[in-house]
Amino acid sequence: MIESDINAQGVDALIKKLHEDGVSSGREQAKKIIAEAEHKAEKILTKAKLAADKYLKEARLAADKYQAGGEQALNTAMRDAVLSMKSGLMAHFQADLKRLVSDSLSQPDMLEKMILEIVGSAKKSIGTEKHIDIILPVEVIGSQAIEERAEELQNGALTQYVLGLTQAMFQQGVTLHAANDFCSGIRVKLNDKHIILDLSEASITSLLMQHMQPRFRALLEGVIK
């Protein structure tokens, strides 16, 4: 009986010990699993953070590149628009200048003043004995007058009459002729030297543009930037 009780107590003690050892072992195992899980979680978070940082960095670079490209494209478009506007205004200015020159050269009074000035200067430079031919634009004489009085036109009598120039000038060796084209302005020819002074609409406009273009461009730069 006593031996049986001792054995029972031994079994109970053994069971208790096994239980305690099992719980302790289970707790240690649980702690170990948790620690490993936490370690793995930290590694996962670290990798995730690195991946996120890399993605954000690439995203920022892409955004900056896109923004820079967009700004560059916008700046290029604005520059092209400004250049186009300046070019258009310059062309408009040249067209207005050409029209102004053409209108002025179609006035007999203006041509008379030009002829008198040219003849006076030419005679001083080359001598009064030299002959000068002055070619006038057709529109000053008129196409109908050319058809009806072609003979007078050939010897300069008609153009002299139209412009009302003095006979004294033409006694000094100056003859007026009508141009065989529709060019505005006048051209002066020295017969003995075959020298032609071009005072046509195109040449005068070109000279005026050379003189006025820098000023006009400076004005544009001040207004349109």
Q: CA dihedral defined by 165, 170, 173, 176, rounded to 10 degrees? A: 50
Output the CA angle 90-95-98, nearest 5 degrees. 125
Q: What pLDDT does residue 96 have? A: 83
CA 132, CA 170: separation in Å to the nearest integer? Answer: 9
The mean pLDDT value for 86-90 works out to 80
CA 23, CA 15: separation in Å to the nearest integer? Answer: 12
Q: What pLDDT does residue 95 have? A: 84
Q: Has residue 213 got a pLDDT over 70?
A: yes
Q: Has residue 21 got a pLDDT over 50?
A: yes
The mean pLDDT value for 61-76 works out to 70
DSSP structure class, residue 130: S
CA 202, CA 197: separation in Å to the nearest integer? Answer: 13
CA 210, CA 216: separation in Å to the nearest integer? Answer: 11
Which secondary structure element, helix H or strand E, spans residue 198, and what is its range?
A: strand 195-200
- In sequence order, the 6+-apart residues with CB closer than 8 A to the CB of 183 are 137, 200, 201, 202
Banded pLDDT at 115 (limits 50, 70, 90): confident
Of 89-103, 160-174, 175-189, least confident by mean pLDDT is 160-174
CA 223, CA 225: separation in Å to the nearest integer? Answer: 6
DSSP structure class, residue 107: -
Share of the chain above pLDDT 70, in %: 43
What size, in residues, is the chain?
225
Share of the chain above pLDDT 90, in %: 0
The mean pLDDT value for 162-184 works out to 63
Q: What pLDDT does residue 140 have? A: 62
Q: What pLDDT does residue 4 have? A: 46
